[in-house]
Structure 1
Amino acid sequence: MSSLVWRLRRLRAMGLVEILHRTRRALLNRLPPPPYLRWTPEEAYSHLIDENTEQLIAEWPFHLHCSSLDEIERAHVLEDAEALVRGEWVLFGRKVALDSPPRWNANPMTGNTWPDAPSKKIDYHDTKLAGDPKFTWELGRLTWLPTLAIAYEVTQDDKFKERLNLLLSDFLDRNPVGWGIHHTSGIEMGVRNLTISLAISACPSAFSEPNFKRSVGFMAQQALWLRSNLSLGSSANNHLLAEASGMAVAALCAPNSRRLTPLRNLGLRLLRAELLKQVNADGGPAEQSFEYLPFILELFLIPFAMERAAGRGNTAPSAERLHRSLEFLRAVLLPDGGLPKVGDQDDARVALPMEAFSRARLVANALAAFLGQPAVSSADTALARLMFGETPHPKPPQDLHREFEAAGYTLWRRDPWMLLLDHGDLGYLSLAAHGHADALSICLYHGSTPVIADPGMAHYHDDLESRDRLRSTPAHATVSFDGRSQSEMLGPFLWGRRANICRQSQGFECAWYTGEIHWRSVVVESNLIRIEDKTSRPGGRIHFPLGPSCSVEFHEDCALVSWPGGSLEIRGKRIGEWILHDSLFAPRFSHTLPTKSLSADMNGLEATIEIRLAEAPC
């Protein structure tokens, strides 16, 4: 797709207010930069922070309880910190070597580098420059910074302090606000303010005095940039949350600095308003992406916890919606701490980024501690202990049958099975950036094993063909026509005309943007799942993508699907022969596994599928 075509399509997704906002930003970018972009971080501290360093440390509003980590949690933190001292780091599950000092503008996966140029002149969509920018941005989010600060706090070993200050000083030298790839997107700056603030909250003495001042000044500079460059209109999704959070936290950390007070007020006001938009009334994610939910909850939790510690604000309305999101997570959480692979996933994380922890359980347990609610599990309590000094007793998921009407999911749980029916919207706002064309699809888990699987997402910018394939309708356990998708793909994070989903009779109806209609009903009775499909025209094909540990045998009219520890039989009425295809499953961002997908043509306008569950292979 040419750049011009993409820009025209993107323009169509904007309203007038957003177009005016972006036009104003473009005009301002042609003017000389504002004073704060010409300052060094030290100068920014002098201009923007009213307290000296001793006062600021004494007034710091939030302190992490590093000594509350248990022995195993502390060992995980120290393991990662030791690796950082050796120049090793983990990027989306892969070990990478960090140069000393790191090449901050390099893609660790390819070695290619982004231009050393003003941020506004770098088009991060152009993967020909250095590949997917996510691989470069991740190191620049500084999620490793609190790890080193916690390690120094609990051991007082100078090697952690020395490594922290060496890496931080070099990053600040080479990446001033407005320069380079790390300042091309507001979400990166917002997350970076959170990680810097958490590191200081863990151990202010881990920072040399110059680096402490530079860090606080740098946070204030980023907050000012964020205020002028908010993701509004069609882009007001999790990016806006990170920007608002980054503004709020920078100001909360300097509570008596008058120049930052408006940023605190704006950031917190935006967070409270967006919480009611981006988390549905039943707690489900408006972006239709399960794995983004723990990330956005971190974006709410950190500033709200800081605000409470500072004795400011009333979080009662926010607490109610956060409580519902906690209960949504409790309902859909898998036994291993994972989540169904609904929608996009990009391994986004802020605090305690160690691979040893389940992100969903880690954040959910911390949120439970903040709200005074039961934890979702006795495992992965480190963030709750770190932020609040304790973890509440757990209340594990219960067997249930529940419809999350606002989010658009119906859930059946009966240990060890979990079945999910997706009848929600495509995604959030006009872009629906992280949604998939998966209406009326199911996914089925046996314990934590995906059996009938949502394929997940492995790519954002670097493999657009694979991205389109994994978010298409035929990649999901629903009905397709002619291999097409229910909604119109216009770009990797842009949808055009959408399918419309509504309740109809005893099921749900999906009206495709091209005019076809698919109706589905799902009924669960003991160990039998019965699916009724009806279509408005012939040519429907039923799909069942399988998890990577599944194998298939065909017996007369039955497809026997088995995996270590379980099996099921799939039988169909008024369908053609079952066909087994090669397919892909993405267990996490940037990773894919080969798997299989079952499909069969509908013979006419109606079909019935019966899935009979077994506890062990037949």
Structure 2
Amino acid sequence: MKLRRLLNMTVSEVACRGRQETAKWWDRLEMTGRTASASDAIAGKSLEHCCRAAPARFFEGVVDEATPRHIGQRMRESYDETVAVADAACQLRFDLLGHRGLTFGDPVDWHLDPIAGRRAPCVHWSRLNPLDPASVGDSKVIWELNRHQWLVRLGAAYRLTGDERYAETFAANVRAWMRANPPGVGINWTSSLEAALRLISWCWALFLFRGSNALSEELFVEMLGSVQVHASRVEKYLSYYFAPNTHLTGEALGLFYAGTVFPELRPARRWRALGARILIEQLERQVLPDGVYFEQSTCYQRYTVETYLHFMILADRNGVAIPPTVRERVQRLVDVLVALRNPDGSIPSIGDADGGWLLPLATRAPDDFRGMFSTAAALFGRQDYAWAARGLAPETVWLLGADGVKAFDGLRPAPPGAPASRLFADGGIVVMRSGWDEGAHQLIFDVGPLGCPFSAGHGHADLLSIQCSVFGQPCLVDAGTYGYAAEPRWRDFFRGTTAHSTVVVDGLGQTVPAGPFQWDARPRARLHRWQSTEAFDCAEASHDAYSRLADPVVHRRRVVFVKPGYWAVVDLLDGRAEHAVELRFQFAPIEVTVGPDLWARARVSEGRGLLIKPFAAVSLKGEVHEGDLAPIQGWISPVYGRRGPAPALIYSTVARLPLCIMTLLLPTERLFAAPPAVIPLLGAATALLGIVPFEGAE
């Protein structure tokens, strides 16, 4: 396997990996635990000099004296929440990912996973495997603490209140961290992305705590020396080939931060140029022409938008010219998220979601993108982004200051002018919706590939799956992610086919996991038809995932939206032999029942919900499973590290192929009334030809 991988590498990849492996070897030989000296870092520049010169280089909201007033007067809930998060941090209690009130000891043990009760060894980082839960626990939990984004929340609380407790907590913990994490030693140096995110947090903390007695000259110089160590590590081990996705762009942003905010550092000009070049190049590579992020993940699409918003704002503050294509392509990214946005304002989960943020300036649920929409609205002057944001967000105030507030307030929020139903052909996503109102019906149909061209690591085996909102409320959903490496059995379930609303053949997933971020094969979906009119939408696609069976099976799915009222989903399974077939629907945690007549009822609010009924020329069995463990089914994960039971509706049969199943998805305001009369049309050999529409349908 390794030889085959090596033979497939380009010369440049072999050279890059060779350089990095050689660098690791030298790093291990030189592992002395030294830190950069003040003269190495800032060439004699003082804290006073940097505090005087640097504010013009940083984000306006951080240095704008009006920011506390804007937050306090217009966003009191955010003000209070920021103070509460900072108070908890002073007590060394942290909300990280899906975990609440985590403690890592007093003093903090920076190498501990308190969930698994495991402590990563303090050896050179290249000797550690962060994906080995037996030795390090869940590295995501450890890293989330060590990103030091909670220091930024402490700094925000300090700017809002002037309370020196927050500054003292910051200073004490940064000193403790530097003592416990000498350069190159331990799990907190294993990832270039994590080093870059910590570097960004430190930049913010240094500006937020400027003027505090706790930020002494000595601490400033020591931190700036560590910033140089962080940036040098990132530069040396950029993820050009290891993870050329949000890892690489996040690392590039860290270099751009260090080189732009601290030009006194000797390598600053090189870091700034390198970071900007990577960000500009990767935007073209990672964002498809239609604006879909190439890893097929809404979470990582949001990460990408955040990265480029920071890049553009910081570049503008420092007079760094960037091509106009950057603005254009970032807006395409945001346009996709606006189109995918559920009627209730949440963003549907597609692909992996790790629960993290580039820089969380407010506490938000993983599906709450309002802060990003708000900042994009102010930066680009877009009314539709302001509509999606549902009001000015604190993130915008911190990033753009008074100018951002003025820009947002000058917009008249309005839904997009584009059609409500649309196809993103490059990304393989179909959106069908009745309108832009909060009570709209919406369906998302995945007709794209499994992951991106170079890796399916963050992609799910969800080909031809659907998600659905009725009366504005999410009903059929993606099950989520839950975790990456700590619990392989759960990792495989949540990214597997049985966690998604699609068809399963012979109890097999569309592909087989080959590690936490790999699959043994890359089946593809193909879109055959898309048509959208005032009366209906129709999309048809197929995939070849089950062509690997002894009797190859092709799954073809057609989804028709009869506007504005209901969907018909037609599944055609082409083969020659007998197969076990499951038509699966994964719901949000709502009430779902199925009767002997196969009518299923999913309640989203009092009296309203979704009726589901399949029609076939063979006998079907309908069941609802929730919270099952053997096998695992009927679970969702709303955020990384947390899971809960949720209904999975399964219609199953064993039949000789070919087979056609036509399923009606009918939003109704009279969920528990008698269902409508729908008559299947049978042809020769009892083949299903269609259905006679119910009363009131067309």
- TM-score with structure 1 setting the length: 0.93
Instruction: Give the RMSD, CA atoms, in angstroms.
Output: 2.5
Look up the SS of the partner of 2:310 in the other structure. Answer: helix
Instruction: Give the C-alpha shift of residue 394 in structure 1.
Output: 6.3
| Structure 1: tracts of 5 or more residues without a match | none
Question: 5 Å matches for 1:442-481?
Answer: 442-446=466-470, 449-481=473-505
Residue 531 (structure 1) aligned with residue 579 (structure 2): no
Q: Deviations over 1:222-245 (max 9, x none)?
A: 111111111123521111111111
Q: 1:396 to 1:425 in 2, by over 3 A?
A: farther
1:49 maps to which residue?
42
**C-alpha distance in 2, partners of 1:353/1:291?**
17
1:521 maps to which residue?
558
Look up the SS of the partner of 2:510 in the other structure. Answer: coil
Question: 5 Å matches for 1:481-500?
Answer: 481-500=505-524
**C-alpha distance in 2, partners of 1:200/1:373?**
32
Q: 1:268 to 1:85 in 2, by over 3 A?
A: same
Task: Count how many residue pairs are aligned between Structure 1 and Structure 2.
Answer: 611
**C-alpha distance in 2, partners of 1:558/1:15?**
55
Instruction: Give the C-alpha shift of residue 128 in structure 1.
Output: 0.6
AA paired with 1:579?
E
1:558 maps to which residue?
599
Q: 1:161 to 1:522 in 2, by over 3 A?
A: same
Identity %, equivalent residues: 25
2:587 maps to which residue?
546
Question: 5 Å matches for 1:313-324?
Answer: 313-324=321-332
Instruction: Give the C-alpha shift of residue 579 in structure 1.
Output: 2.8
Residues 194, 302 of structure 1: 8 Å contact kept: no
Q: 1:299 to 1:13 in 2, by over 3 A?
A: farther
2:694 maps to which residue?
none
2:690 maps to which residue?
none
**C-alpha distance in 2, partners of 1:444/1:553?**
18
Q: 1:32 to 1:165 in 2, by over 3 A?
A: closer
Instruction: Give the C-alpha shift of residue 429 in structure 1.
Output: 3.7
Question: 5 Å matches for 1:345-364?
Answer: 345-352=353-360, 354-356=362-364, 359-364=368-373
AA paired with 1:57?
C
Look up the SS of the partner of 2:484 in the other structure. Answer: coil
Query: Which of residues 597, 610, 627 is equivalent to 1:568?
Result: 610
AA paired with 2:334?
L
2:89 maps to which residue?
84
Instruction: Give the C-alpha shift of residue 97 in structure 1.
Output: 2.6
Residue 580 (structure 1) aligned with residue 624 (structure 2): yes
1:150 maps to which residue?
156
Q: 1:520 to 1:283 in 2, by over 3 A?
A: same
Residues 143, 194 of structure 2: 8 Å contact kept: yes
**C-alpha distance in 2, partners of 1:199/1:359?**
25
Q: 1:32 to 1:473 in 2, by over 3 A?
A: closer
Task: Point out the more displaced range, 140-149 or 352-361.
Answer: 352-361
Q: 1:578 to 1:236 in 2, by over 3 A?
A: same
**C-alpha distance in 1, partners of 2:6/2:460?**
21
AA paired with 1:467?
R
Residues 158, 208 of structure 2: 8 Å contact kept: no
**C-alpha distance in 2, partners of 1:9/1:354?**
46
2:283 maps to which residue?
275
1:612 maps to which residue?
666
Q: 1:48 to 1:87 in 2, by over 3 A?
A: closer
2:687 maps to which residue?
none
Question: 5 Å matches for 1:15-414?
Answer: 17-32=12-27, 39-41=34-36, 43=37, 45-50=38-43, 51-60=45-54, 61-63=57-59, 64=62, 65=64, 66-67=67-68, 68-69=70-71, 70-93=75-98, 94-206=100-212, 207-233=215-241, 235-334=243-342, 337-352=345-360, 354-356=362-364, 359-374=368-383, 375=386, 376-379=388-391, 381-389=393-401, 390-391=404-405, 392=408, 393=411, 395=413, 397=415, 400-414=420-434
Look up the SS of the partner of 2:211 in the other structure. Answer: helix
Residue 509 (structure 1) aligned with residue 542 (structure 2): yes
Instruction: Give the C-alpha shift of residue 171 in structure 1.
Output: 1.0
Look up the SS of the partner of 1:610 in the other structure. Answer: strand
Q: 1:333 to 1:83 in 2, by over 3 A?
A: same
Residues 13, 430 of structure 1: 8 Å contact kept: no
Instruction: Give the C-alpha shift of residue 281 in structure 1.
Output: 2.3
**C-alpha distance in 1, partners of 2:610/2:666?**
5
- TM-score with structure 2 setting the length: 0.82
**C-alpha distance in 2, partners of 1:505/1:356?**
38
| Structure 2: tracts of 5 or more residues without a match | 531-539, 627-633, 673-698
Residues 572, 610 of structure 1: 8 Å contact kept: yes
Residues 9, 490 of structure 1: 8 Å contact kept: no
**C-alpha distance in 2, partners of 1:362/1:295?**
12
**C-alpha distance in 1, partners of 2:4/2:101?**
38
Q: 1:240 to 1:212 in 2, by over 3 A?
A: same
**C-alpha distance in 2, partners of 1:422/1:411?**
9
AA paired with 1:554?
G
**C-alpha distance in 2, partners of 1:11/1:482?**
35
Residues 371, 389 of structure 2: 8 Å contact kept: no
Q: Deviations over 1:171-204 (max 9, x none)?
A: 1221122111111011101111111112223342
Task: Point out the more displaced range, 550-559 or 416-425.
Answer: 550-559
AA paired with 1:548?
P
